[in-house]
A and B are shown apart, each in its own frame.
Chain A
Amino acid sequence: MEKKKIIGLGLVFLVMVGTGTALAGGGREAPAAPVSTLRVAVPTFPNSLDASIAAERNAQNVAWQMFDSLVWANDQNIVEPALAERWDISDDGTVYTFHLRRGVTFHNGEPFNADAVVYSWERGTQPHIEWSDRWGRAKSVEAVDEYTVRITTEEPDPLLLGVMAQHWNIIPPRYTQEVGDDGFGQAPVGTGPFEFVEWVREGRIVMRANPNYWREGLPRVDQVIFRPIPESSTRMAAIQTGEVDIVNRLTVEQAEALEGVPGVNVVTYPIDRVFYIAFNNLTTGVDQPTEDARVRRAMNYAVDRQAIIDSLFGGRAQLATGLMTESNLGYDHSIDPYPYDPARARRLLADAGYPDGFEIGFAAPAGAYTNFEQVAEAIQGYLADVGIRTSLDIMESGRYWDLEAEKALPPLFGDSWSERSGESLPRLLGALGGWDASFSAWSDPTIDDYLARIGVTVDQDERAQLYRELHQFMYDDPPFIYLYVPETFEATRDNVVDYMPRAAEDYFLMFTYIR
């Protein structure tokens, strides 16, 4: 009796193991790779393949290979025709008339026309759409005839075309209604260079070349397979073994270790993200010494940021001169970064009435950015050298951002801001918009005025000039301790040609091929 039960239990266990093994055996084997398959590792798992719902950069990168917008921003961030062949803008800058490309069809055969554009916009502006505010920049979108669309904005919107290029994925009305938003996110249909084949949940996303793509001769590979690999060490191993052709988001140490590895090319470029220590003049920073511009300048002089970059990032970052990066419109190259000059910092502090420094609260998020905790600690040390004693509070990033949005962080707080539109306006509005912006703790009427003017100046040169003036103003009266613009590290197999990631870490694989 006893023996039987033990045997019984043993059998149950064997069945369990057997089931596990059977399940393993049922896993899919990687298809034999034809020469023109591009395998791309992505560090996160797309929440959706619908570009309007894809929540973050990596998901967006995957999704956008299957879509087009009316316009496209090229590598120089200049807007070019895409699904629209040309467009006219009314004299007051609020009415855009787009003349659509004829003969384009969606991957499922549905025709691309004005109705598809109107439908895409109507759906995009619904509140449950992740990027609904991007679609909402247009007040109305109407079909004039089958191949003409009229788009109206409330006020002149210089960023409209750029935002359209980045966020307005045109979708087929019939298919989308048929499968619903959820179904569409699982198996999307667009007009883009690649069409959806399959999505093995968290295992692989497979796309094949769209044989009828309207851009002649593109794409240049037959198939693209995205593989989610969350751990950067594993991505590094996978590019070494050749299991994937492209990996991104490596650490500087990993990139250095990959230099010289046969078959692997390291790709590095500065990204459109600025790290900073923000000041607060709305809540916790009111009546603090940091309301005085001399104090804020002193703090910029007090921190040896080059030493921080050298020791924590292997020298692979650029000094920030403002809240703009070199790839942004109107970046003023004549502005040099604040030098490390503690003597000058002390003089400025003395001028401002704080010869012995002062005490102030300081906070930074934990685990949110590479080495940022150490950056904050180094800054604390540098500030102490000129007499500014900070109580540094490093907190869990989720809670940190809650407090940041409530404007309840200490008067000094570290963060960073990335931007993909190629212009710094959204970042400037977000970080300096005062009470109107969720993550701003600073308000300055001069800055407000510049931002308001930039926001309605459609002429690119005029806008660039305004940016330059604002750049200088924010240098002289800094609302931040400007830190650095980081580089990002990626790697490809050495037979990958024309993989061209941009400063927002986005890329279009239609140009990429395997040699």
Chain B
Amino acid sequence: MQRYLLSRLIQSVVLMIGVLVLVFFIVRLTGDPARLMMPRDASPENIQAFREAMGFDAPLHVQFFNYMRGALTGDFGRSLHYRAPAMSLVVERIPATLELALAALFFALVVSIPLGIIGGTRPGSIWDTLCRGIGLIGQTVPNFWLALMLIVFFSVELRWFPTFGRDGLRSLVLPAIALGFFPLGKFTRLVRASVLEIRNEDYIRTAYSKGLLEQHILTRHIFRNVAITLVSIVGVQFGYMLGGSIYIESIFAWPGIGRMVNEAVQARDFPLVQAIAVFTAGFVVLLNLLTDIAYAVIDPRIRYEN
């Protein structure tokens, strides 16, 4: 177990260093921030002065060295657009993004687990058709379209929820549904498929032939094995949801990280883009690490094989 964890940890660190390097160079492929940030009728001299003031005229390797040195101490420089430390701007927005992602995940799990189990245990039934239908719709409907439809129907027509903003629990409902709908579809299909598959395993047949109660077989033998599959996918999906919330956060004017990505990229705010990219990548790496640990905890085969 310890060796397993250690190797996962080392992999994560190497991955993060790779992310740091990649982010630095990719951001610089997008062009010159000095021109974009200065007024359009600014003279070339003024733009050059700004470039020097911001350190963009330094050779790339010098910029890279400064960046890596800062990154290792958690300093990602100052946002050019917002004129504040980049990482603290990101940190400010974590609660909103996390809240939305967790609410969406909660919504997706609460609906998909029962639905998938019902579908999987009664294949061919009307419930199964519903389950497969929702699974398909969830995975095919674009979330930004769904978000707009939710607003039109539940905000403009029915006036049940606010159209935008982060003002308490009521304002969380529509964005969470919009963001949670894709994982909902994915989880439902996954749970249904695993239930179907596990039901055909030898040990389930054995359990039935032993005369165990249906109830008992479901809880003791099927659910636990479904959980293994689910845990691995939930972790990954949660990471995606942080990134995928760019649209949803913009549509609902939700003050999270996703919405800031858009602004930072448009403003060519190098330090901020870097901070967001490194933070998001770090979060996904951390989630994967946690998933791996959870996996090992739930499924003994994993930790013993390693």
Query: Which A residues are within 8 Å of any B CB, using their own CB?
Result: 2, 5-6, 9, 16-17, 19-21, 23-25, 27-30, 44-45, 47-48, 53, 55, 127-128, 130-131, 133, 181-182, 185, 201-204, 227-231, 233-234, 237-238, 240-241, 243, 398-399, 401-402, 405, 417, 426-427, 429-430, 436-439
Contact = CB atoms under 8 A, between A and B. Distances in A.
B10 to A, nearest CB: 24
A27 B164 contact: no
Contacts of B164: 227, 229, 234, 237-238, 243
Given A17-B102, A20-B99, A27-B168, A6 B298 contact: yes
Interface stretch (B43-51, B56-64, B127-135, B198-206): B43-51
A38 to B, nearest CB: 17
**Closest 5 pairs (CB-CB, A-B):** A430-B41, A20-B102, A202-B255, A402-B31, A237-B163
Given A55-B81, A182-B84, A405-B35, A28 B259 contact: no
Interface string B239-253: 000000000001111
Contacts of B251: 231, 233-234
A55 B166 CA distance: 25
B262 A133 contact: no
A436 B42 CA distance: 10
Contact of B98 (A20, A130, A436): A20
Contact of A237 (B102, B106, B152, B166): B152
B37 interface: yes
Interface in B168-215: 168-169, 171-172
Contacts of A17: 102-103, 105-106
A331 to B, nearest CB: 19
Contacts of A28: 167-168
B30 interface: yes
B169 A21 contact: yes
Given A2-B300, A21-B169, 12 more contacts: A24-B166, A55-B267, A130-B37, A133-B42, A182-B84, A229-B253, A230-B250, A234-B251, A237-B152, A241-B156, A417-B40, A438-B42
Nearest to A404: B35
A398 B41 contact: no
A9 B224 CA distance: 13
A111 B40 CA distance: 35
Interface string B65-108: 00000000000000001111000000011010011001101100
Nearest to A425: B41
Given A201-B92, A241-B155, A436 B43 contact: yes
Interface in B102-119: 102-103, 105-106
A126 B294 CA distance: 55
Contacts of B165: 30, 203-204, 227
Interface of B: 30-32, 35-44, 46-47, 49-50, 53, 81-84, 92-93, 95, 98-99, 102-103, 105-106, 148, 151-152, 155-156, 159, 162-169, 171-172, 224, 227, 231, 250-253, 255, 259-260, 262-263, 267-268, 294, 297-298, 300
A30 B253 contact: no
Contacts of B99: 20-21, 23-24
B270 to A, nearest CB: 12
Given A237-B152, A436-B43, A25 B35 contact: no
Question: Which of A23, A203, A402, A417 has the largest number of chain B CB atoms within 10 A?
Answer: A23
Contact of A48 (B41, B83, B98): B83
25 contacts: A5-B298, A17-B106, A24-B166, A27-B168, A28-B167, A28-B168, A127-B50, A133-B43, A181-B83, A185-B83, A201-B92, A201-B93, A231-B250, A234-B151, A234-B163, A237-B156, A240-B156, A241-B159, A399-B30, A402-B35, A436-B43, A438-B43, A438-B44, A438-B47, A439-B41
Contacts of B159: 241
B163 A30 contact: no
A318 to B, nearest CB: 22
A276 B294 CA distance: 59
Contacts of A241: 155-156, 159, 162-163
A5 B224 CA distance: 12
Given A128-B53, A427-B41, A438-B40, A48 B168 contact: no
A299 B190 CA distance: 60
A48 B79 CA distance: 12
B151 A25 contact: no
Nearest to A399: B31
A202 B102 contact: no
Among A25, A27, A55, A427, the most chain B Cβ lie within 10 Å of the Cβ of A27
A9 B163 contact: no
A53 B171 CA distance: 32
B102 A437 contact: no
Nearest to B231: A9
A506 B277 CA distance: 34
A9 B294 contact: yes
Interface centre among B81, B99, B155, B168 (most CB of A within 10 A): B99
B196 to A, nearest CB: 22
Nearest to B161: A241
B229 to A, nearest CB: 14
Contacts of B262: 230
Contacts of B35: 401-402, 405, 438
Nearest to A30: B167
B53 A27 contact: no
A398 B253 contact: no
B151 A233 contact: yes
A30 B171 CA distance: 11
Contacts of B46: 133
Contacts of A228: 253
A47 B81 contact: yes
A337 to B, nearest CB: 25
A92 B294 CA distance: 80
Contacts of A25: 168-169
Contacts of A127: 49-50, 53
A9 B268 contact: no
Nearest to A204: B165
A29 B31 CA distance: 42
